[in-house]
Amino acid sequence: MSANRKKPGKLAQARAKRMARSLQQQGILSRAKKALPTFLVGLVIISGLVGAFVLWRSPSVLPVTEEKVRFFQIATGSVGGTYFPVGKAIATVISKPPGDVSCEKGGKCGVDGLIAIAKAAPGSVANVRAVSGGTVESAFAQADIVTWAYEGKGPFEKDGEFKNLRVIASLYPEAVHLVVAKGSGIKRIEDLRGKRVSIDRVGSGTRIDALSILKAYGISQKDIIAHSVDASQASDLILSGELDAYFLIAGTPSLVISDLAERSKINLIPISGSPANKLKSDNRYFVTKTIAAGTYKGLGEIETLSVQALWITNVKTNRKLVRKILSALWREENRKIFLKGHAKMELITPQSATEGVAIPLHRGARDFYIKQGILKR
């Protein structure tokens, strides 16, 4: 080689280095391609073993019995009345969601898989329609309204007979409260003429009975400035000075009335005398009720009328489910929770659960009361 031959330039040297690296990489890739099938087979085997272990340990394949979830609605009344807190208490003790701790280990002692829900509702008239129509599973309603619906009378005359209604339990007596604002000048029912009076919402049992009571005392709806609001709204209107009086049929003590009494804003008017006696003789569901002195702060004893509150359902409701619900309702383990719901819970007992019932009991309820020795076969 001649000593005068030129050395390669920088460009040529760089090109030579790139070519060398390329050849080296191709060799590595070639060896990797040959080894790839073996690697993939190993990866699949390892993944399969891991997957099998995870599947074996998964709770979904362990021998656990799945619980069916069943929802059970209880239509009540306005939040300020008695139906709603009583409904909440009953819903609490009969519920036992899937996966909950067993009763024996300190969990809920309700019906397995049952989730009961107490919902606010317009009242008795709307409730019996909802139960009959199947839009709710159960509801609370006044005994008089339930009887009228079953027989197709009163407010249900145009509907026909609601023969698919059945009773789960008779709960407690509901007193007719006639609440009047202090300073309204109302001392007796006859003084309601020309006054602003709430007879409750359309669809409530209170409204139906309020109109019956007013009529018995010679007062028509035209004789008063009628409002159609529930007890909670009526109480607010009493406080704001926009209402003189309102009717409420509820178990004693009613929360909204207690609140007004605590503020010394109201009085209660008696419903007694000849008109009340005639109402009782004409309507077997009305009975005399005395609201004891001190039931509401600062108020003395008041004589009034009352009707029984019923828990109703549809004839199609599962027979076994109703038996289980009643068994859970009166379990000894549930008693403390049950009694915390409302003062009226003390009156809800198996022994009184068939009193004041003028329509058939549900088959499941009848089974339960026969088993308890409360009814004969």
pLDDT band at 229 (very low <50, low <70, confident <90, very high): very high
Residue type, 341: G
Mean pLDDT confidence for 107-115: 93
Whole-prediction pTM: 0.73
Q: How far apart are CA 140 and CA 74, in angstroms?
A: 7
Residue with tokens 């409204």: 207
Question: Which of the two residues, 67 and 257, has the higher pLDDT score?
Answer: 257
What are the tokens at 202?
């359309």
Q: What are phi and psi of 122, to 5 degrees?
A: -60, -35
Q: Is residue 91 predicted with pLDDT exceeding 60?
A: yes
So what's the pLDDT on residue 321?
98
Q: Is 185 exposed, middle or buried (0-12, 13-18, 19+ CB in 10 A)?
A: exposed
Residue with tokens 């007879």: 199
Q: Is residue 144 predicted with pLDDT exceeding 60?
A: yes
Best-predicted range by mean pLDDT (12-26, 93-107, 179-193): 179-193
Q: Please give the share of the chain, as a percent, with pLDDT higher than 70.
A: 82
Q: Is residue 180 predicted with pLDDT exceeding 80?
A: yes
Q: Which domains does the chain have, with CATH numbers?
A: 70-371 (3.40.190.10)
Residue with tokens 């701790």: 101
Q: How far apart are CA 165 and CA 313, in angstroms?
A: 6
So what's the pLDDT on residue 154?
86
Q: Is residue 38 predicted with pLDDT exceeding 50?
A: no
Helix axes 124-133, 205-216, angle to 10 degrees: 140
So what's the pLDDT on residue 21?
52
Model confidence pLDDT, tens digit, residues 153-175: 988 999 999 999 999 999 999 99
pLDDT band at 301 (very low <50, low <70, confident <90, very high): very high
Question: Which of the two residues, 50 and 181, has the higher pLDDT score?
Answer: 181
Number of Cβ within 10 Å of residue 244's Cβ equals: 24
Number of Cβ within 10 Å of residue 353's Cβ equals: 25
Q: Is residue 203 predicted with pLDDT exceeding 90?
A: no
Apex CA 291: angle with CA 289 and CA 297, to 5°? 170
Q: How far apart are CA 38 and CA 40, in angstroms?
A: 6
Q: Is residue 210 predicted with pLDDT exceeding 90?
A: yes
Number of Cβ within 10 Å of residue 195's Cβ equals: 17
Q: Is residue 15 predicted with pLDDT exceeding 90?
A: no
